[in-house]
Amino acid sequence: MTQEIGGFAALGIHPSVLAAVIAVGYEEPSAIQSQAIPVILGGHDMIGQAQTGTGKTAAFALPILSKIDPAKREPQALILAPTRELALQVATAFETYSKQMSGVGVVAVYGGAPMGPQLKAIRQGAQIIVATPGRLVDHLSRNSALLSTIQYLVLDEADEMLKLGFMDDLEVIFEAMPESRQTVLFSATLPHSIRAIAEKHLREPQHIKVATKTQTVARIEQAHLMVHADQKIPAVLRLLEVEDFDALIAFVRTKQATLDLAAALEAKGYKAAALNGDIAQNQRERVIESLKDGRLDIVVATDVAARGLDVSRITHVFNVDMPYDPESYVHRIGRTGRAGREGRALLLVTPRERRMLQVIERVTNQKVAEARLPNAQQVLDARIKKLTNSLSPLVADAEASHGELLDKLIADIGCSPRALAAALLRKATNGQALTLAQVEKEQPLVPTSSPRERSDRPERSGDRERRAPIPLAEGRARCRTALGARDGIAARNLLGAILNEGGLAREDIGRIQVRDSFSLVELPEEGLERLLGKLKDTRVGGKQLKLRRYRED
């Protein structure tokens, strides 16, 4: 272990940052970390070509934290991220790595949240700002000197920022910072547009390229199952009936979900426990030890709570909730398949999350095959097999030890041996359904069909202008803006604005149709009026979005 810690120590990061890295259980630097950290610490501009899943967040967070001055209560580092979700994830990482440092403040600046707390954190001297471009430009319009003290700039997932239409915002942000800053750019691909940014805004950048970290998942069998959101707990219970697992970790997004799923598992007789950020360190250690020695078989955890968890007997990972990004997925499923063993990872996918599944497949360079929930016959077969396996070892000496008692019970009750055996079986199985008809009556689980892919490509003008709107999916509302193709608007511009100002996840937004003189956007019906209120002052391409519910009558 000392040698592994030495891997990070040798990179020259600040001792307090190193202590935080060790505390979260990181073992050794990844390829991008070992190459990028010395370059950033050395003060060089850098282009890092790395996919999500290679550990790039730590690659820029650790050296930046090592370089900032906590005594200066002013913004020193700016990290730009394309989406609210990534901004929150990066901000959380900075908070985690700075836990051993006193006086370091981190603020996440993104749309869909009140400006007040963000402004307050900046006024109080947060040294690190993690922001989405659209909301940051809003802040700059109120305080043009906001970024005048920035010394370090990171553009994370720069190619995604351009896809979402943030080029104009980026130029505004570049202009608001000192030219003497150090700039680091991370991008999975390097198209011409990214190279143009690098040539214009980076000074003699060093170029680091790291391949996607696919070896972690190569020996892990992966599959996904399409389910409705309200089917998740029943789906997990049904899968556990047929999966042959030793130990299992189930990942969910929220603390409450860890408690809900763990309670449902315990109620079914599984040895399960929750692991989340509210659990004290000593209790966390007890849970992990119990998983190692077999007192527990299932842990239900959030991503943060599972960090550093390394238990060799974990054979299965259930992604009950979709991870926020592919990097989290790679980290999650890496909890199994340890020490050369085979592992199995299952991912539950709701219809809205199909796009993220495609991103995960692209990043890991592996197809995540579709599986089906086990049917009633498969569940029945699995139950009978488990019962057979539990009784088989007992049969050998049962007659010698309990034969006389059996004869007495038959005589006292006045029944046949078959009737008594059936009664004992009923008692032993605790009312569990053990006929096909009974299993079929249990909560039905109908796998969802694969939804038709949504398209973000703009509609062309002409006859499509008169085309009838496509039928809406359940739970969605269609909204209209007067901005269209003739205003220079593309679907990605609308997507970027709504994501960052509305505080939505990508899967919350349905089809976007850009017509010549207007555009249509599918948004969640639930909370629509509140969402439209958030978007009231949003501008796209310098023009007001003015989204309204679209009445088709």
Distance CA 105, CA 124 (A): 9
pLDDT above 70 for 47: yes
Distance CA 216, CA 317 (A): 14
pLDDT above 90 for 188: no
Distance CA 466, CA 356 (A): 32
What percent of the chain shows pLDDT beyond 90? 33
pLDDT tens-digit readout, 304-344: 777 667 787 899 999 999 887 777 788 788 888 765 567 89
Per-residue confidence (pLDDT) for residue 352, from 0 to 100: 78
Per-residue confidence (pLDDT) for residue 41, from 0 to 100: 96
Structural domains of the chain ordered from first start = 2-210 (3.40.50.300), 215-373 (3.40.50.300), 377-441 (no CATH), 462-549 (3.30.70.330)
Per-residue confidence (pLDDT) for residue 506, from 0 to 100: 76
Nearest Cα to Cα of residue 155 among 247, 79, 88: 79
- CA dist 114 → 110, 119, 135 (Å): 9, 9, 11
Per-residue confidence (pLDDT) for residue 155, from 0 to 100: 96
Q: Are 316 and 245 in contact (CB under 8 A)?
A: yes
Q: Are 185 and 205 in contact (CB under 8 A)?
A: yes
Per-residue confidence (pLDDT) for residue 338, from 0 to 100: 63
Mean pLDDT of all residues belonging to the chain:
83
Per-residue confidence (pLDDT) for residue 470, from 0 to 100: 59
Residues paired with residue 491 on neighbouring β-strands, in sequence order: none
Give me the mean pLDDT over the 437-458 stretch.
Answer: 50
pLDDT tens-digit readout, 416-443: 989 988 888 888 777 677 778 777 767 5
Per-residue confidence (pLDDT) for residue 177, from 0 to 100: 95
pLDDT tens-digit readout, 477-513: 889 998 988 888 888 888 888 887 887 777 778 888 8
Nearest Cα to Cα of residue 360 among 343, 345, 339, 374: 345
Per-residue confidence (pLDDT) for residue 53, from 0 to 100: 55
pLDDT above 70 for 216: no
- Those residues whose C-beta lies under 8 Å from the C-beta of residue 530, and which sit 6 or more positions away, are none
Token pair 């170029």 in the structure block, residue: 207
pLDDT tens-digit readout, 274-302: 998 788 878 888 898 899 889 999 999 98
Query: Quick one: how many helices (H) and strands (E) in the chain?
Result: 21, 20
| Coil, helix or strand at residue 281 | helix
Per-residue confidence (pLDDT) for residue 362, from 0 to 100: 81
Give me the mean pLDDT over the 239-247 stretch.
Answer: 89
Looking at the chain, how many residues does it have?
553
Per-residue confidence (pLDDT) for residue 319, from 0 to 100: 95
Give me the mean pLDDT over the 219-226 stretch.
Answer: 88
Per-residue confidence (pLDDT) for residue 446, from 0 to 100: 46
Distance CA 12, CA 66 (A): 9
pLDDT tens-digit readout, 338-361: 655 678 999 999 887 888 888 888
